[in-house]
Amino acid sequence: MRVRLLALAVLFQAAAAAADQSVGIGPGLAFNPPTVVVAPGETVTWIWQDAPHSSTSDATSGPEVWNSGVQATGATFSHTFQTPGDYPYYCLVHSFPGGTFMNGLVRVAQPTATPTVTPTRPPTPLPGGPAAIPSLSGAGRLLLGLALAAAAVLLLSFARPR
């Protein structure tokens, strides 16, 4: 029983942390990936794979400001983002705010709902096929033929010159 509860707790924590993001710093002069997207309340953790580097927000004031300080290989630093927006950051040692050399971006966005597909009913077919043509019995066909012949005789009699 105790093992089951422990396994359940581990699974619950793994599911809760699944939306958080990790960013590798290095090897070399790069954040990997350079851009991450999180929802409000989620955490980005930077992991040093090379040294010396930092993760420092471009902004020095506002809702999302952080500075890990210069760290060595194996260090980690985390920041939980609360406010939607784009938050650029850089390495203090190798770049500067707004730079393009060793810079990254955290995008905090509200999760979007997955569109639900509403099934539509196919049109109800008309009885007898696409264009319902009444079917006639043998006697009905005979009467229709006689009516058409009588109409033709009348038309011809009026059409002849006298």
The answer to pTM > 0.85 is no
CA dist 91 and 74 (Å) reads 16
CB neighbourhood size of 87 (10 A): 22
Residue 107's beta-bridge partner residues? 37, 86
What's phi and psi for 115, nearest 5 deg? -60, 135
Residue 105's beta-bridge partner residues? 35, 88
**Structural domains of the chain in order of their starting residue, each with its CATH number:** 18-108 (2.60.40.420)
Query: pLDDT of 11-24, one tens digit each?
Result: 334 334 446 999 99
Query: pLDDT of 85-130, one tens digit each?
Result: 999 999 999 999 999 889 999 999 988 777 777 777 777 666 655 6
